[in-house]
Amino acid sequence: MFSPETWKNRVVPGEVIYHDALSIVPYLARYTLARREELCGLDVDDVLDESGIPYIFVRPNEHRTLKNPQSTRRIPLIGEVVRLGFLRYRAEIKSLVLTFWAMVETTSRKSVIPVPPN
């Protein structure tokens, strides 16, 4: 994952804009105040829309648990998160189970986020 080719041009100014977990999760964390583990464990089906307002539904799933029962919540996606392309990214990876399949927890008791099928 951290091979030089993967990271070589990521921070160099240019025409390529990366819309992947490494670029989106930090913005989601900042603007939603959700925990890293909650975001990285989101199922694609946890990104929903109600009355034209997109939101993420933080709830327990087969990939991770929540810190406590009160952590289950709906968080609206507004402003920068939408402008930066999170909803486009989600539409592109809709066939996968996890929204951020490339993110692997390094501090948890076990890694629960699988690599997507080829």
Domain boundaries along the sequence of the chain:
18-92
Predicted confidence (pLDDT) at residue 33 exceeds the cutoff of 60: yes
When pLDDT is averaged across residues 94-111 and rounded to a whole number, the result is 58
Query: Which residue, among 69, 71, 85, 75, has the nearest Cα to 24 in the 3D structure?
Result: 85
Q: Phi first, then psi: what are they for 40, rounded to 5°?
A: -70, -20
When pLDDT is averaged across residues 27-46 and rounded to a whole number, the result is 89
Query: For residue 11, what pLDDT is reported?
Result: 67
User: pLDDT tens across 53-63, in order?
Assistant: 999 999 998 87
Cα dist. 52→36, 49, 78 in Å?
26, 6, 11
When pLDDT is averaged across residues 2-16 and rounded to a whole number, the result is 65
Query: For residue 103, what pLDDT is reported?
Result: 57
Query: For residue 116, what pLDDT is reported?
Result: 46
When pLDDT is averaged across residues 85-95 and rounded to a whole number, the result is 81
Q: What percent of the chain has pLDDT over 70?
A: 67
